[in-house]
Amino acid sequence: MSDGSKRYKYSTGGEPVIHFIPPNRIDREGLFGALWNRLRGEEADDLLVASIRAHGVREPIRLLEPVGDDPRYRLVSGRGRLLAARELGLETIPAVVLDADEGDAVIRGLMEHYPDRRYSAAQAAVLCDLLVSRIGVDRARLTCEILGLLGFSGAKRVLDDLLDTAGLGDDVLMLAHRRGYSLRVLVRWARFDSSDRHDIAGLFRRVRLGSGPGDEVLGILREISVRDGTGVKDILDAPELSLLLDGDDEAVQRLGEEVRAILRSLRYPRFTAQKREFDRAAASLPLPKSAVIDHHPTFEGGGIGFSCRFQNPEEMEEAARFLRDAAGSDAVKKLFSLV
Amino acid sequence: MEGVTRLYILDDARGYPLASDIAEQLGVVPEYVPGINDVPASDGDAEEVLVLAAHRGRIVKRCPGTRRHICCNYHVVNQVLGCGLGCTYCILQDYLNVPGTLINVNIEGTFRELDRALARRRKYIYRVGTGELADSFHTDELTGFARRFVTYARGTTGMIFELKTKSDRIDHILDLDPEGRTVVSWSLNARSIARREERNAPAIEARLSAAKRAAEAGYFIGFHFDPLVDFPGWEYEYRDTVRMIFDFVDPGRIVWVSLGTFRCPPGLMRIIDRRYPESVLMSGESFPGDDGKLRYLKSIRIEMYAHMIKWLKEVDPDLFVYLCMERRDVWERVFDPASPIPRKNAGLDRLFHESLARRWMPHVKG
């Protein structure tokens, strides 16, 4: 072949024809290159490099024919293998050249991964954005045919959410992709303005939070921000939080639960104050050993709880004495006034 | 009702004069469809879609109430479903599965059902109204239902009919003598909440001015502070609204005032979060209650109710103020210990009856 590619008939009867193409004849940006660059960076994956060094490229990559003045093939899928092949200096890489337009190629590329591949919400967002804004895939087609392949429900709203979140910025999307954040988290994140988004990214980089806790934190930040008319930075500058977040990085990574607790107390000041008051009043009582006084978790149910585990009859008597003596005390009156 | 661009008439509603009347008034060519499931989902503003149907089965229902909360045994007539006022907190966003506003055009069937309900022996006055799943006046210029209900109520005994609204367009019923049997009630709120969260509804002053006209025309009046919203400065704003009530309406004409703090199922909270992320409703201190709905922290509710009751009773100690869907322990904390506290739903029904016997029955004609 004049272009340097070797073409072998790998099999007949409708099976794909495998080409062996020099890696430098392939535009690694291709259809998805920019997308994966945004989420994964441009370095080859070490494990994949080692595997290809040992076994070669076992699965052909997918390409589209060159178009226009650019003589290079356009990459559809197999970017990781292509980067590894380049790093290893392979002369050629096996490839299937698809006879399809870009939209079809994308669908076929996705179908080949289906159903094993799991796409993160960040990947899906960037992918959908690419398909709509660059390739011009019709939204209805995207909703009906492609969202399912990405593992998302084929609802118009889901596509809208994905497209909304595609504008979050590469740093946020890359972080969200690495952490596997759900679409719900990204949708919440996208509702903040760009400065707030950046501050949130700073927090999320420092504090390890999964999708559920991350969703809660974003919700709380939003609600405080609306309530107080402040930006995220002002919230994170609260003394309790900034003290916590000033530590060294590794320690901070472990503090997700504490950060959430502080944010909850800022979000629910009345509840927090009531709980503190209750705990203070309970602590002032000479409780018998192993006894606990508590309240309904949200103070919704009335009354106070008293529980105790006895090891012997004397402890029972002690508890009975306590209940009799404490019933009229100011601390107990205080407890009842709080529930 | 303005802005309707798509009108669907279900097969059941064909042939009802009101259906063709409405089509003519709107100047919209109707599309006839076999059933509600054949109405295409709205891809734009649901306000633009009107569906005319003829209900089958029961249309008068007891308010479903909610677990472990005291309900007043009110009955609702679901003649219209959906409302175009677009209030942020509206439960209909989560509750209705209709791609627009639905009007049941067969009102005669409703009257027959009410006749049957009234024929049963009842211990307490039967309270029933149309404002649960719709605003009683929002579509009334098209349907004329309010006049029909006022006229129907005049011929009944043992019933008080309520038209519940935020509208100020109620003048078309003022020439009727309700003979004391219809209450027109307004949903009220703090001014800033009305402005921010009830965007398409008239201002509070306009509602109260309409209430004044209704009272002067012989209607009894009710007010509903539901939802009471917790926001910085609520004390001043709600007190203002309470004061304004009595600038417009003689307390002697007011048969009831309900109070209910903002509450909603978690699904509705998600809808509000999505549609109105700047809503003040999102930032209250709400927690799930025994019925799964989110409610403000109990101490906040108690504080709000206690203030409202104090301000209302300062003007008329005999004013009938009740809590909508609240726990008994909250009732106990906000009302005077000497006041009767309902233990269950029937207890509140009885309190209504006793108050109406004092404040309303002596003024009813016939």
Q: Are A261 and A275 in contact (CB under 8 A)?
A: no
> Is the minimum CB–CB distance between B285 and chain A shorter than 8 Å?
yes
Distance linking the first and last C-alpha atoms of chain A: 85
Give residue B366's pLDDT. 61
Q: Are B352 and B94 in contact (CB under 8 A)?
A: no
Mean pLDDT of B302-313: 97
Please check the confidence at residue B120 and state whether its pLDDT lies above 80: yes
Domain ranges of chain B: 1-54, 55-363
Helix (H) and strand (E) counts in chain A: 19, 8
CB contact under 8 A, B278 and A226: yes
Among A211, A237, A267, residue at a domain's last position: A267
Q: How far apart are CA B246 and CA B223, in angstroms?
A: 12
CB contact under 8 A, B299 and A299: yes
In a domain, A93, yes or no: no
Could you tell me if A260 and A197 lie in one domain?
A: yes
Question: A232 lies in which domain range?
Answer: 191-267
CB contact under 8 A, A223 and B277: no
Spatial CA neighbour of A294 closest among A285, A303, A286: A303
CB contact under 8 A, A222 and B288: no
Given the structure tokens 């069937």, which residue do they identify? B109
Task: Show the tokens assigned to A244.
Answer: 């916590």
**pLDDT digit string, tens, across residues B325-343:** 999 999 999 998 888 889 8
Q: Are B114 and B162 in contact (CB under 8 A)?
A: no
CB contact under 8 A, B300 and A224: no
In a domain, A259, yes or no: yes
Measured over the CA atoms of residue B224, residue B129, residue B296 and residue B93, the dihedral's sign is negative
Q: Are A119 and A32 in contact (CB under 8 A)?
A: no
SS (H, E, C) B191-259: HHHHHHHCCCCCCHHHHHHHHHHHHHCCCEEEEEEEEECCCCCHHHHHHHHHHHHHHHCCHHHEEEEEE
Q: How far apart are CA A165 and CA A184, in angstroms?
A: 10
In a domain, A162, yes or no: no
Given the structure tokens 């190629």, which residue do they identify? A105
Spatial CA neighbour of A334 closest among A295, A294, A293, A281: A281
Question: Across the interface, which of B282, B289, B300 has its CB nearest the CB of A270?
Answer: B300
Helix (H) and strand (E) counts in chain B: 12, 16
Task: Show the tokens assigned to A215.
Answer: 């969703």
Residues ≥6 apart with Cβ < 8 Å to A201: A169, A171, A172, A175
Tell me the longest C-alpha to C-alpha distance in chain B: 61
**pLDDT digit string, tens, across residues B349-360:** 999 999 998 888
Q: How far apart are CA A35 and CA B299, in angstroms?
A: 51
Q: Are B330 and B299 in contact (CB under 8 A)?
A: no
**pLDDT digit string, tens, across residues B33-70:** 999 888 887 665 667 899 999 998 899 999 888 888 88
Give residue A17's pLDDT. 87
Residues ≥6 apart with Cβ < 8 Å to A50: none
Strand, coil or helix: what is B297? coil
CB contact under 8 A, B282 and A298: no
Strand, coil or helix: what is A131? helix
Give residue A216's pLDDT. 94
Q: How far apart are CA A223 and CA B146, in angstroms?
A: 41
Strand, coil or helix: what is A21? strand
Give residue A2's pLDDT. 44
Estimate to the nearest angstrom the gap between the alpha carbon of A184 and the chain centroid.
Answer: 9
Q: How far apart are CA B252 and CA B208, in angstroms?
A: 15
**pLDDT digit string, tens, across residues B188-229:** 999 999 999 998 999 999 999 999 999 999 999 999 999 999
Contacts of A267 in chain B (CB under 8 A): 285
Among A267, A285, A312, residue at a domain's last position: A267
Question: Across the interface, which of A226, A271, A301 has its CB nearest the CB of B283?
Answer: A226
Could you tell me if A248 and A290 lie in one domain?
A: no
Contacts of B279 in chain A (CB under 8 A): 226
Contacts of A191 in chain B (CB under 8 A): 277
Mean pLDDT of B256-285: 91
Interface of B with A in 312-331 (CB under 8 A): 327, 329
CB contact under 8 A, A270 and B285: yes
Q: Are A199 and A233 in contact (CB under 8 A)?
A: yes
CB contact under 8 A, B288 and A274: no
Q: Are A175 and A205 in contact (CB under 8 A)?
A: yes
For domain B55-363, the CATH class is: alpha beta
Mean pLDDT of B117-139: 92
SS (H, E, C) A256-321: HHHHHHHHHHHHCHHHHHHHHHHHHHHHCCCCCCCCEEECCCCCCCCCCEEECCCCCHHHHHHHHH
B44 CA: distance to closest CA in chain A (Å): 13
In a domain, A281, yes or no: yes
> Is the minimum CB–CB distance between B236 and chain A shorter than 8 Å?
no
Please tell me what DSSP assigns to residue A11.
Answer: -
Give residue A12's pLDDT. 40
Percent of chain B past pLDDT 90, that is, above it, reads 68
Give residue A299's pLDDT. 94
Q: CB-side exposure of B357: number of CA atoms within 13 Å? A: 9
Task: Show the tokens assigned to A200.
Answer: 């949130």
Give residue A95's pLDDT. 93
CB contact under 8 A, A270 and B297: yes
Residue A309's CB: how many other CB atoms inside 10 A? 10
CB contact under 8 A, A226 and B287: no
Q: Is B162 left (phi over 0), alpha (psi -120 to 50) or beta?
A: beta
> Is the minimum CB–CB distance between A117 and chain B shorter than 8 Å?
no
Task: Show the tokens assigned to B344.
Answer: 């269950």
Continuous segment of H or E residues that includes residue A9: none
Question: How many domains are contained in chain A?
Answer: 2
Question: Across the interface, which of A191, A226, A300 has its CB nearest the CB of B289?
Answer: A300
Question: Across the interface, which of A223, A224, A298 has its CB nearest the CB of B287?
Answer: A298
Reported pTM? 0.82
Q: What are the backbone angles phi and psi of residue B227, rounded to the nearest 5°?
A: -95, 140
Q: How far apart are CA B82 and CA B101, in angstroms?
A: 5
Could you tell me if A260 and A273 lie in one domain?
A: no
Distance linking the first and last C-alpha atoms of chain B: 35
Chain B: residue whose CA lies nearest to A297: B287
CB pairs < 8 Å spanning A and B: 46
Whether the predicted interface score ipTM is above 0.85:
yes
> Is the minimum CB–CB distance between A302 and chain B shorter than 8 Å?
yes
- Please report, as a single letter, which amino acid is at residue B360: W
Estimate to the nearest angstrom the gap between the alpha carbon of B332 and the chain centroid.
Answer: 25
Question: Across the interface, which of B273, B283, B297 has its CB nearest the CB of A271?
Answer: B297
Could you tell me if A260 and A275 lie in one domain?
A: no
Chain A: residue whose CA lies nearest to B300: A270
Q: What is the pLDDT along chain A (339 residues), one digit of tens a residue?
A: 444 454 433 334 456 789 999 999 998 776 666 566 656 666 778 889 999 999 999 889 888 888 888 889 988 888 889 989 999 999 999 999 988 887 777 777 766 665 556 788 998 888 888 888 877 888 888 888 788 878 888 788 899 999 999 888 888 888 898 889 999 999 999 999 989 999 999 999 888 889 999 999 999 999 999 889 899 999 999 988 888 887 776 667 678 888 999 999 999 999 999 999 999 999 999 998 889 999 999 999 888 999 999 999 999 999 999 999 998 899 999 999 999
In a domain, A136, yes or no: no
Q: How far apart are CA B111 and CA B96, in angstroms?
A: 24
Among A218, A242, A267, residue at a domain's last position: A267
SS3 content of chain A, % helix, strand, coil (to 5): 60, 10, 30
E strands along B88-180, which residues?
101-104, 126-129, 159-165
CB contact under 8 A, B287 and A301: no
Question: Across the interface, which of B278, B283, B290 has its CB nearest the CB of A300?
Answer: B290
CB contact under 8 A, A223 and B282: yes
